[in-house]
Chains A and B, each alone.
Chain A
Amino acid sequence: MSPEVVVLGATLVALTLYALLGGADFGAGIWEFNTALHVSPRERALLRRAIGPVWEANHVWLIFVLVALFTAFPLAFAAVCRALWLPLLLGLLGIVFRGAAFAFRSVPSPDEPRPFHWETLFALASTAAPFFLGASAWAIASGRLDVDRSGGHGGDPLLGWLNPMSIFGAFFAVATCAYLAAVYLARDARREEGVELAELWRRRALVAGAWMGLLSAAGLALVATAAPVLWEGFRGRAAPVVLVSGLGGLSSLGFLLARRETAAVVGAATAVGGVVLGWGVAQYPAIVPPSLTVEGTKAPEAVLRPLAIGMAAGAALLVPSLGFLFYLFKGKRPAA
């Protein structure tokens, strides 16, 4: 396999993991809009325990995607930065305030046990980040960005990224994060908190899952009409991935109904992961369709080869460490 395909594949996997892990962390913040209205201390504790140990590691997937694009497909990275600077900066604003607010509110002052401002900011920022990152991703997928082969951008510098797909994508990303978080939290609650909270989160997950089903159908219809090239990819090369994704989503609903939350987590992750992977597979070899492709943007061979090797070596360190982190905080049952 040529090194650019290895690097692109690794980047796509990293993006998928960012959606699955980072997305769920955002989702937990999105739900706080809801839980802020009827607070129970146990519920809030569950949310914090769920995110606390892992969110920084989950965040690094995004950094990885950025630097991998930057190094291996510099023209595509430059084009994306030029065309999408506004939604990217707005998403970044969400990331910054989400991270900062999470850290600050973990140190409440004795006379204000619930730092209201940071709580609100956390919820808002957790919503803004996937909203604008989702808009950016779907703007790329739409194939309507006016970028040229040298990485320049000819569209409107402020609003060139706005089109029906990017607007839909913003809401789709927020809903996806909320759905993932609800399913994961249902599992965490079942294992740690007993029936009452588990049932609450299970109901939320079911509702969010039903919405996701509708949104996904709408999304496919939108792609079919608004992005014919991508649609060809979905019907052709990426069809098996789309199918598996759909089955995963359905199974997550079934498992939730059967109160088998761990299996539901697998189903939900398959559904969402399939969307991201399917997108990549469907638009390959384009990176920023229609004009920027792997061939037209890749770095010299002499860079890609060590990069692929470096990534493999890094993964050898990363996988066991990450495995241990998740085992300790998500797998192993806490000592009573």
Chain B
Amino acid sequence: MNAAALLPPGDAALFAARLQMAFTLGFHVVLACLGVGLPVLLLVAEGRFLRTRDEGWRTLARRWSKAFGVLFAVGAVSGTVLSFEIGILWPRFVAVFGPVIGFPFTLEAFAFFLEAIFLGLYLYGWDRLTPQAHWWCGVPVAAAGLASAWFVVTANAWMNAPAGFRLDGDALADADPVAAMRNPAAGAQTTHMILAAYVVTGFLVASVYAAARLRGEERPYHRRARALGLAMGCLSAPAQILAGDFAARVVARTQPVKFAAMEGQFQTEARAPLRLGGIPDEERGETRFALEIPGALSWLAHRDADVPVRGLDSVPAAERPPIAIVHLAFQSMIASGVVLLALSAWAGWTWLRRRRIPESRAFARALLVAGPLSILATEAGWIVTEVGRQPWIVQGVMRTADAAAGSPRAGWILAATLAVYAVIGVGSFLALRRLARRPLPA
């Protein structure tokens, strides 16, 4: 049977290419988050060892570095897939705009070099370098991880709020790569993404060791590991909410249609309400079953309840994104953010009163879901960003349909990709589990 037959008729090839992009990016971003966050935890753990000479901290750093080695390898190959995909799936996008956004990608390549080089030194240098030198080899890994996230997200922000180029008909007439990197969405998106990486890493690590606590394995090793992850998560989650608010205001200003879809705002109106939940109904042109807070959306977007918020009615239907998906994804991100904030408050409260993290089973259970929830928030946020930009690949400038290769085999490629990723996904899981089960030194 032809794989494309399984897809909706019409633009089956385009649809398959979009799904392919979404799936491979969604996979990569989880590893990317850990690539940004884990080196920081490694530095803290090994730094504690250097300060206290307590072998327990070093054991922690050594075991985590093994896991990081596996995760980094899978992150690197999944990133390589993306580099090929951009050209193979969207050749017209690259042919026209490669020069505009290629600059941050090139700088990112240098960040990858530094990350890979110092990771090699870090992973294989435990016994070849002095402890101090070894710790310092971790610093470029953390810095380069952060830098690579920053570079690549400026490129994505440019797709949302393009700047720094001039077109001559369909062709690029001139470009200013630095102005392109300083596009209006870059600040908000890069901040929000980098914080997301710390939120994800922190809560995921805390989740893993909360599971150990619930299984009854509770040695100082597990408690320390959990506390470290929790600290990272709880420190970054509140900042993440602020960054999210900043991101939302930037979207309201630079991408009003995406903003309207996020909020399920069909009509342009002053004193627009904030909708909690609800199902956007495109036929009827309204969002039903939502809890509405009058004027709150106008206030959130523009810090003034009387300023009108542009609705989806301001553009023809062909220029609107899939509203229900965007609204639902946005609501999921916010809900997850609120839960993570509540958890941070719980932990922070206990810390202030007792100078320790909460040890109860109830808290461990809550932590168990916090890791997956932070990944959910990240994926949902990216769905908001990317699906909310549709039908544009470059907001207002180039349509996704015009960028695509339109290969009739896109369905097959997608099927093969899913199979390959299933293998490496399962392989990573098994490898990490084997690592976790290695006995601790007595």
Residues of chain A having any CB pair with chain B under 8 Å? 52-54, 56-57, 59-60, 62-64, 66-68, 70-72, 74-75, 77-78, 80-82, 85, 88-89, 92-93, 95-97, 99-104, 106-109, 118, 151, 157-158, 299-300, 302-303, 306-307, 310-311, 314, 317-318, 321-322, 324-325, 328-329, 334-335
Indicate if the CB atoms of A107 and B70 lie closer than 8 Å. Answer: yes
Contacts of B80 in A (CB 8 A): 59, 62-63, 92, 95-96, 99
Find residues 92-119 in chain B having any chain A CB closer than 8 Å to their own CB.
92, 94-100, 102-103, 105-110, 112-114, 116-119
Contacts of A102 in B (CB 8 A): 73
Residues A53 and B83 in contact in the complex (CB < 8 Å), given A64-B109, A157-B407: no
Select the stretch in B277-285, B317-325, B374-382, B424-432 that faces chain A: B424-432
Indicate if the CB atoms of B112 and A300 lie closer than 8 Å. Answer: no
| Besides A78-B92, A324-B121, 15 other A-B contacts (C-beta < 8 A) | A52-B124, A57-B113, A57-B116, A70-B98, A72-B99, A78-B95, A96-B77, A99-B76, A100-B77, A100-B427, A103-B69, A104-B427, A107-B435, A108-B434, A314-B110
Residues A74 and B99 in contact in the complex (CB < 8 Å), given A81-B94, A99-B76, A103-B73: yes
Q: Closest CB-CB distance, B291 to chain A, in whole Å?
A: 46
Among the listed A60, A74, A106, A306, which residue makes an inter-chain contact with B112, where contact means beta carbons less than 8 Å apart? A60
Q: Closest CB-CB distance, A142 to chain B, in whole Å?
A: 20
| Closest A-B pairs by Cβ, 10 of them | A71-B102, A74-B98, A299-B99, A314-B110, A81-B87, A103-B73, A78-B95, A56-B116, A53-B120, A53-B124
Indicate if the CB atoms of B427 and A60 lie closer than 8 Å. Answer: no
Among the listed A95, A318, A335, which residue makes an inter-chain contact with B113, where contact means beta carbons less than 8 Å apart? A318
Contacts of B86 in A (CB 8 A): 70
Q: How large is the interface on B (under 10, 10 to 19, 20 to 34, 35 or more residues)?
A: 35 or more
Residues A92 and B81 in contact in the complex (CB < 8 Å), given A60-B109, A100-B424: yes
Residues A67 and B124 in contact in the complex (CB < 8 Å), given A103-B70, A109-B434, A314-B107: no
Residues of chain B having any CB pair with chain A under 8 Å? 66, 69-70, 72-74, 76-81, 83-84, 86-88, 91-92, 94-100, 102-103, 105-110, 112-114, 116-121, 123-125, 128-129, 140, 172-178, 405, 407, 409, 413, 420, 423-424, 427-428, 430-431, 434-435
Indicate if the CB atoms of A74 and B95 lie closer than 8 Å. Answer: yes
Q: Nearest residue in A to B127 (C-beta to C-beta)?
A: A335
Contacts of B69 in A (CB 8 A): 103, 106
Indicate if the CB atoms of A307 and B96 lie closer than 8 Å. Answer: no
Indicate if the CB atoms of B87 and A56 lie closer than 8 Å. Answer: no
Query: Chain B binding site: helix, strand, loop or mixed by DSSP?
Result: helix
Contacts of B84 in A (CB 8 A): 66, 81, 88-89, 92
In whole angstroms, how far apart are the Cα atoms of A67 and B117 in the complex?
19
Q: Closest CB-CB distance, B212 to chain A, in whole Å?
A: 19
Q: Closest CB-CB distance, A139 to chain B, in whole Å?
A: 15
In whole angstroms, how far apart are the Cα atoms of A299 and B125 in the complex?
42
Query: Chain A binding site: helix, strand, loop or mixed by DSSP?
Result: helix
Contacts of B74 in A (CB 8 A): 99-100, 103
Q: Closest CB-CB distance, B382 to chain A, in whole Å?
A: 21
25 contacts between A and B (CB under 8 A): A52-B123, A53-B120, A54-B120, A56-B76, A56-B119, A59-B116, A70-B87, A78-B87, A78-B94, A78-B98, A88-B84, A103-B428, A104-B428, A104-B431, A107-B435, A300-B174, A302-B174, A303-B100, A307-B106, A318-B114, A318-B117, A321-B114, A322-B117, A325-B121, A328-B129
Indicate if the CB atoms of B120 and A325 lie closer than 8 Å. Answer: yes
Contacts of A325 in B (CB 8 A): 117, 120-121
Among the listed A54, A57, A72, which residue makes an inter-chain contact with B102, where contact means beta carbons less than 8 Å apart? A72
In whole angstroms, how far apart are the Cα atoms of A52 and B126 in the complex?
14
Q: Closest CB-CB distance, B24 to chain A, in whole Å?
A: 11
In whole angstroms, how far apart are the Cα atoms of A62 and B113 in the complex?
11
In whole angstroms, how far apart are the Cα atoms of A88 and B80 in the complex?
12
Among the listed A63, A328, A334, which residue makes an inter-chain contact with B109, where contact means beta carbons less than 8 Å apart? A63
Indicate if the CB atoms of A74 and B102 lie closer than 8 Å. Answer: yes
Contacts of A96 in B (CB 8 A): 77-78, 80-81, 420, 424
Among the listed B70, B88, B113, B428, which residue makes an inter-chain contact with A322, where contact means beta carbons less than 8 Å apart? B113
Indicate if the CB atoms of B91 and A151 lie closer than 8 Å. Answer: yes
Indicate if the CB atoms of A63 and B110 lie closer than 8 Å. Answer: no
